[in-house]
Amino acid sequence: MFKMENQFYVLTFLAVYSFGLSTGNEGPIPIVLWHGMGDNCCNSGSMGAIKGMLEDNIAGVYVKSIMIGNNPIEDTENSLFLNANTQVEMACDMISKDPKLSQGYNGIGFSQGGQFLRALAQRCPSPPMINLISVGGQHQGVYGLPHCYYPNHKWCDYIRKILNFGAYFKWVQNSLVQAEYWHDPINEDSYKKGSIFLADINNEDVVNKTYIQQLTKLENFVMVKFNNDTMVEPRESEWFEFYAPGQGKNITPLRESKIYTQDRLGLRQMDKAGKLHFLALDGEHLQFEEEWWVQNSLVQAEYWHDPINEDSYKKGSIFLADINNEDVVNKTYIQQLTKLENFVMVKFNNDTMVEPRESEWFEFYAPGQGKNITPLRESKIYTQDRLGLRQMDKAGKLHFLALDGEHLQFEEEWFIENIVKRFLL
């Protein structure tokens, strides 16, 4: 079950795409959540909190948390005992009837919700899923549940006994969700013939070309793996990897697996198109900190510059602090930047989209406060020439242009006269 860590703010990769892609409607792209085993749509410590935080941090976003059943209790029970194929059918019916999702949505799946949402993307083309992020989802299945976190441990013991007894018995497949993504590497043929869910959505036996067509329509497929995951085995399944056939010890990397080399699901095609993204972090199953999510999942966080806490910015920023040589000076950055013939910066005098607008001229608030702007030529990055800007300025390579207007609002004539004719011809 998902575990909250202090005051956790879920600002995910998909939150960025909520603004970056258009569905034909005004406002951010809707988000669909699907919880994991033993959890439910509305748990205040997991999905309910995530839903609320997404709504708080993405103005106007519509978030739908999948509930299979008439109430959260039924939803929890169904996550354990209702046929996964039936659940996907119910979810498809649910989202297809939701007018707020009619133009498309982004999906975030947690644990088994990751593979359920993938099945939804492959089987339910309308409305279309735009991006899929799988947090701890087991896309090649599991071959062990050493730590089951459901509060009623008797159910966990019951599940383990049945899986060990006969995961591919028809009655087990139809009544125990975890059996439907149980992947026995010792008996691959039994898995391919007996699995009524995972083997199908992974095109293990018969290749369903519709699944390939639908999955490859995704803009991005993000998989998050937990390096210290002890809830499921193997944890590498969270990156679509699994044990080599015939044994349960050595892992075959995704790009060496049959599902990839034969491109049975379109993963190789997606990989070459830059659509597959693999994220990893230390921690147990579904346990992560606010800082990791924000820096690795929200692009804007990577150039968030806190003038009140300059040390935190320098140590915590994984992008801007690096390319600005804030902490350690990378001489290669200086050598490469100063090779430019011209570095033209355009500032919009009436810009209300970002603060401060002076950043468009490489200027920023003086350290320790958020009011007064330090001119570029008085800043440390210039006076110490940490990036080569002073050198470029003296060589006449820096150019500062300004025009009235909002962010990125300019006339074609202005652009041609001031940019094209002056610097591009």
Residues 287, 385 within the same domain: no
When mean pLDDT is compared across 22-26, 109-113, 237-241, the lowest value belongs to: 22-26
Looking at the fold, whether 297 and 330 belong to one and the same domain comes out as no
Annotation says 317 is catalytic: no
In a domain, 321, yes or no: no
Rounded to whole angstroms, the Cα distance separating 398 from 334 reads: 14
Q: Is 111 considered catalytic here?
A: yes
- State the catalytic residue, choosing from 75, 184, 229, 385: 229
Q: Is residue 320 part of a domain?
A: no
pLDDT for residue 203: 98
Structure tokens at 245: 């056939």
Active-site residue 306, yes or no?
no
For position 410, what pLDDT does the model report? Answer: 85
Report, as an integer, the average pLDDT of 306-310.
88
Q: When comparing pLDDT for 407 and 263, which is higher?
A: 263
Backbone angles phi, psi at 371, to 5 degrees: -130, -55
Residue ranges making up the domain that contains 356: 326-424
pLDDT, one tens digit per residue, over 127-173 is 999 999 998 899 999 987 645 544 445 556 566 567 767 889 998 89
pLDDT at 236 exceeding the cut of 80: yes
* 96 & 233 share domain: yes
Could you tell me if 166 and 206 lie in one domain?
Answer: yes
> pLDDT band at residue 16, thresholds of 50, 70 and 90?
very low
Q: What is the DSSP letter of 366?
A: P
Counting the structural domains of the chain, the total is 2
Based on the fold, state whether residues 277 and 400 are members of the same structural domain.
no
Same domain, 381 and 271: no
Query: Does one domain contain both 359 and 409?
Result: yes
- Lowest mean pLDDT of 46-55, 112-121, 317-326, name the range: 46-55
pLDDT of 292 higher than 60: no
CA pair distance 248, 202, nearest whole angstrom: 19
Average predicted confidence (pLDDT) for the chain: 86
* More confidently predicted of 38 and 271: 271
Q: For the residues of 99-110, what is the DSSP string, one character each?
A: GGGTT-EEEEEE
User: What CATH number has the domain bearing residue 378?
Assistant: 3.40.50.1820
CA pseudo-torsion sign 45, 47, 52, 57 = positive
Residue in 18, 46, 79, 111 annotated catalytic: 111
| Whether residue 349 sits in one domain with residue 278 | no
- pLDDT of 298 reads 52
Percentage, residues of the chain above pLDDT 70: 84
Sign of the dihedral defined by the CA atoms of residues 98, 277, 294, 332, in that order: negative
Residue 285 — pLDDT band, cuts 50, 70, 90? low
Instruction: Check whether residue 374 and residue 263 sit in a common domain.
Output: no
Distance CA 139, CA 237 (A): 6
- Same domain? For 340 and 212 the reply is no
- Of 285, 297, 351, 385, which residue is the catalytic one? 285
Whether residue 409 is contained in a domain is answered as yes
Q: Does residue 319 lie within any of the structural domains? A: no
pLDDT for residue 18: 45
Please indicate, yes or no, if residue 5 is contained in any of the structural domains.
no
Q: How far is CA 118 from the centre of its chain?
A: 14
Q: Is residue 307 part of a domain?
A: no
Residue 311 lies in a domain: no
Mean pLDDT of 301-317: 84
Domain assignment present for 97: yes
* Domain edge (last residue) among 301, 336, 354: 301
pLDDT digits (tens, 9 = 90+) for 58-99: 778 899 999 999 999 999 999 989 999 999 999 999 999 999
Tokens of 62: 């519509």
| Predicted local confidence at residue 148, as pLDDT | 54
- Whether 256 and 160 share a structural domain: yes
Residues 54 and 138 in one domain: yes
How much is the pLDDT for 414? 92
